[in-house]
Structure 1
């Protein structure tokens, strides 16, 4: 009887273990889908900003190309007349235009590469990264992304980037996602405050300030906004998965929790929040140099 009960118990344990294993696999799959959904959402935020950013260098390329075609026609005329001095001057203008075309073409290329880097899966390989350049790139993309949705929105962008900041070993596309998330949230907070104050007639100017500096063996990135702020009672929850202050359908609640994981678990750093409701928020990222 004992042997039979033991066999039945073992069989029951095996069944329960199989069920738990299956449930765990389903949970992991759901988690991966949600994380991918958040990544695609951040990519969507970038799309409008990238479209705006890439239009500027493309306009320069088109304009300088058209002017160069006209200059080459003039060059042919001057050569036909035998006026070599004027022909040399025109050739110099064409050369300058080609340099400008090359410069703006490279700018467009870097924007596209940045987009591809953001969208592709992380390789997990850390590389020396210019934090100032990364922050500046994502700040402009986040801003133009919001302005593409709301043409009336304007904000003052202030950067205090420390000179000669040493490069940090990071996974650039992951840290880029963190910065994009912080910038997008900051702009959202200032946009909401602007909408709240419109009815009262109060004068309000959205301001986002990004500061970088070296403190000992760490690099600090501060993202400060003068938006709605975060109520004190939920500040300890803001980094938890699926917690969001945005209306249903406007946020996944994963952005800040993924940012926390990338900074803390992925880079051995810290992310802290200082906020006062109605006054604004500061997100502080600390990244170790070694």
Structure 2
């Protein structure tokens, strides 16, 4: 038999029991929402404790007053607006307002107000008022909005910075690339893509060097990136010559640096290649201009050096010309005597006797002074040849010194030293004797010949000036000494230039390679000679300069350069 328990009709409302009403009342007392109940005309009859806490109004102060009169003295509501809201409520409407006010203890807060009509069992109308402090929710929502706005601004800035970075990377004259730890390209700028023969940087992403054309740049990158990843130290300024996009040779200084994803190990590498083609050409032009300037400064001395042999060549040629005239005249006279002896004896003139001919010839020969001519003519010819050779040597030395060179090439080091000594002769010959000790085993050395000769010239001129200054201070005109020597020591070549000049104290010695530092008087020294020497020997040749000096005794400079040049090896960057 089925269940025959009577079921309430769906249309029949269930009246709350007394227990339910009791529970509802207890919940209203404990609710965190402010609650107020009014009578049919809108006067407050009851409020819960939360209403009292949030408004500071007790039940006694609230009863009999309209809720809007209690809650809307806020500055954003005028009396006219409050009256309008009351009319809407009396017409059966519902209100939902949010406004700023102060709680019961005077703290600013944001209040949500809901007010609407209700009906009891006997359909007697009343109003229910709910108020809620939404300050935290409002603040949270506003903070969320501000956070979202900041995030949107950051995204916009990052996008703008990314576009700016991409624009900068594409327009700078350097080539840039970056890779992961597996040697795969993660990206590059457009100039690097073009340099590697690709139309777009996207064509490079994900590829390794083995996937690209094997040019000198790719081989160098493959060689040094493993070192950077293994050691975590950068490799900088590795020179490499590549074929540029325009088909011309392009010189790069390549630097590969670790890209750290964290502090423990490199997260890949970043490569930067600086195009120094134009700079290198300008450096060569500057070096050439410096050498020509040096020749210009030595021009008066070189002219004097040439004038001396030219003078005695000229004197000897005049002597030979006069002697040749005398000899030629004597020969003509001898010829006439000989022709007279051959005349027909049957002629009118009586033929000269042998004794007459001998006397006449003897007189002609005695007039030539053959002993003098036999001694002086060979001597004059020898001196003339020496003078011509001397002039040729000076001209050849000037030509060799002024030659710009062809980069780093095999150079006869001893010949370069001799040429420089010859060119600077007029600077030192009046104050010092030159002593050269050139090692025949020095041989050919890979070096920048023009720059190295300029360095040696600067050292010789400084040595001559130091000796002259010492002579001036002491009043002693005795010749000083300048020594130049070459030595092959192991895998290096040493060029020493020493003098017996004034010497240097320690403070001066520590500053001699500083640009523009000089101890010479104004107008005599620029302070660039030794700075350029350091740049050439240390910077360009990878060598070193040692200096020994004693005040009042002299100074010795030793230029130490590699005797051989090996393939570029990765070197960690100091001071990184």
Q: How far 1:259 moved relative to its partner?
A: 2.0
Between the two structures, name the one with larger relative contact order (CA 8 Å, sep ≥ 6): 1
In structure 2, what is the equivalent of residue 145 of structure 1? 427
Q: How far 1:256 moved relative to its partner?
A: 1.4
What per-residue deviation string (whole Å, max 9, x for no partner) do you get for residues 183-238 of structure 1?
1111222223333344xxxx474523314253544543322223222221242332
In structure 2, what is the equivalent of residue 47 of structure 1? 299
Q: Secondary structure at the match of 2:559?
A: strand
Q: How far 1:88 moved relative to its partner?
A: 10
1:281 pairs with one of 549, 552, 555: 555
Q: Secondary structure at the match of 1:126?
A: strand
Q: How many residues align?
A: 275
Taking the TM superposition and a 5 Å limit, the aligned residue runs for 1:240-251 are 240-251=514-525
Q: Which moved more, 1:182-191 or 1:223-232?
A: 223-232
Runs of 5+ in structure 2 lacking a partner?
A: 1-152, 175-274, 336-360, 565-576
Q: 2:552 & 2:383 partners in 1: Cα distance?
A: 46
Q: 2:369 & 2:330 partners in 1: Cα distance?
A: 6
Question: Comparing both structures, which one devotes a greater share of its residues to strand?
Answer: 2
Taking the TM superposition and a 5 Å limit, the aligned residue runs for 1:74-93 are 74-80=326-332, 81-82=334-335
In structure 1, what is the equivalent of residue 511 of structure 2? 237
Evaluate the alpha carbon distance shift between residue 160 and residue 91 of structure 1 in structure 2; reply closer, same or farther with a 3 A threshold.
closer
In structure 2, what is the equivalent of residue 150 of structure 1? none
Q: 1:53 & 1:233 partners in 2: Cα distance?
A: 38
Runs of 5+ in structure 1 lacking a partner?
A: 148-153
Evaluate the alpha carbon distance shift between residue 173 and residue 46 of structure 1 in structure 2; reply closer, same or farther with a 3 A threshold.
farther
Taking the TM superposition and a 5 Å limit, the aligned residue runs for 1:1-290 are 1-2=153-154, 4-6=156-158, 8-10=160-162, 32=283, 38-80=290-332, 81-82=334-335, 97-98=380-381, 100-124=383-407, 126-129=409-412, 131=414, 134-139=416-421, 141-145=423-427, 154-162=430-438, 164-169=440-445, 170-198=447-475, 203=476, 205=478, 207-217=480-490, 218-290=492-564
Q: How far 1:179 moved relative to its partner?
A: 1.5
Q: 2:449 & 2:369 partners in 1: Cα distance?
A: 48
Q: How far 1:166 moved relative to its partner?
A: 4.0
Question: Comparing both structures, which one devotes a greater share of its residues to helix?
Answer: 1
Evaluate the alpha carbon distance shift between residue 232 and residue 245 of structure 1 in structure 2; reply closer, same or farther with a 3 A threshold.
same
Q: 2:403 & 2:419 partners in 1: Cα distance?
A: 17
Q: How far 1:182 moved relative to its partner?
A: 0.4
Q: Secondary structure at the match of 1:224?
A: strand
Q: 1:162 & 1:118 partners in 2: Cα distance?
A: 18
Evaluate the alpha carbon distance shift between residue 267 and residue 120 of structure 1 in structure 2; reply closer, same or farther with a 3 A threshold.
same
Q: Secondary structure at the match of 2:298?
A: helix
Contact 1:130 1:166 in 2 (8 A): yes
Q: 1:282 & 1:270 partners in 2: Cα distance?
A: 14
Evaluate the alpha carbon distance shift between residue 182 and residue 7 of structure 1 in structure 2; reply closer, same or farther with a 3 A threshold.
same
Q: 2:171 & 2:292 partners in 1: Cα distance?
A: 33
Q: 2:426 & 2:458 partners in 1: Cα distance?
A: 14
Contact 2:502 2:553 in 1 (8 A): yes
Q: Which moved more, 1:112-121 or 1:68-77?
A: 112-121
Q: 1:183 & 1:124 partners in 2: Cα distance?
A: 23
Q: 2:375 & 2:470 partners in 1: Cα distance?
A: 53
Evaluate the alpha carbon distance shift between residue 156 and residue 257 of structure 1 in structure 2; reply closer, same or farther with a 3 A threshold.
same
Q: 1:206 & 1:20 partners in 2: Cα distance?
A: 56
Q: 2:155 & 2:410 partners in 1: Cα distance?
A: 60
Contact 1:189 1:228 in 2 (8 A): yes
Q: How far 1:181 moved relative to its partner?
A: 0.4
Q: Which moved more, 1:154-163 or 1:252-261?
A: 154-163
Q: Secondary structure at the match of 2:513?
A: coil
What per-residue deviation string (whole Å, max 9, x for no partner) do you get for residues 149-195 of structure 1?
xxxxx423141525645433255433321221001111222223333
State the structure with more CA Rg: 2
Q: Secondary structure at the match of 1:191?
A: helix
Q: 2:417 & 2:392 partners in 1: Cα distance?
A: 18
Q: 2:550 & 2:427 partners in 1: Cα distance?
A: 26
Q: 1:157 & 1:195 partners in 2: Cα distance?
A: 17
TM-score by length of 2: 0.40
